[in-house]
Amino acid sequence: MITTLEALRAGRLREPKKLASFVLGTCRMTVANLRRGAHRKERLLEQYGAEMPASVQPALLKVDHEHLQRCVQNLNERERTVVVMSFYDEETGADVASSLGVSEANVRVIRHRAIRQLRECMGVAV
Name the pLDDT band for 80 (thresholds 50, 70, 90).
very high
Residue 104's pLDDT is what? 94
Q: How far is CA 8 from the centre of its chain?
A: 22
From CA 12, how far away is CA 87, in angstroms rounded? 26
pTM of this prediction?
Answer: 0.52
- Cβ distance 96 to 107 under 8 Å? yes
Q: Confidence band (pLDDT; 50, 70, 90) for 40?
A: confident
What mean pLDDT is predicted for residues 57-68? 67
